[in-house]
């Protein structure tokens, strides 16, 4: 239920081992999936949970891209800038293929 821009939810109970279950309305509103990370902080007398899924997904995509780069010796005729541009092109190609696979 929304009230002046605030999503009001049912109470959350602390269970054994201090576990809680996030209400479905909250999970849907924040597009949370199993395995997503939340950053927990304390602000005054409140526990604040911030989704970290976007950063985590970006990190995984970057590590996947880095793993797919072939270990080639640098072309001695390329400048460092040309080498960086070649690497950026390889990462872009990987991302394009990766997103195409995810959509199919």
pLDDT in tens, 84-97: 888 889 889 888 88
User: What is the pLDDT at residue 60?
Assistant: 76
Does domain 2-51 fall under CATH 2.10.260.10? My reply is yes
Give the residue range(s) of CATH 2.10.260.10 domains in the chain.
2-51
CA distances from 48 to 18, 45, 51, 78, 104 (A): 16, 10, 10, 49, 37
Amino acid 4: pLDDT: 56
Average of per-residue pLDDT values in the chain: 81
Cβ-based neighbours of 7, under 8 Å, separated by 6 or more = 1, 25, 26, 29
Separation of alpha carbons 104 and 92, rounded Å:
19
**Whose structure tokens read 């880095």?**
66
């Amino acid at each position: 239920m929304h009230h002046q821009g605030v999503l009001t939810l049912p109470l959350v109970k602390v269970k054994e081992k201090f576990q809680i279950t996030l209400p479905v309305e909250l999970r849907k509103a924040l597009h949370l999936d199993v395995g997503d990370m939340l950053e927990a902080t304390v602000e005054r007398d409140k526990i604040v949970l911030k989704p970290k899924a976007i950063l985590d997904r970006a990190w995984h995509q970057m590590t996947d891209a880095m793993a797919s780069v072939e270990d080639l010796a640098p072309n001695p005729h390329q400048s460092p800038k040309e080498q960086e541009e070649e690497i950026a092109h390889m990462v872009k190609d990987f991302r394009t293929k990766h997103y195409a696979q995810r959509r199919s």
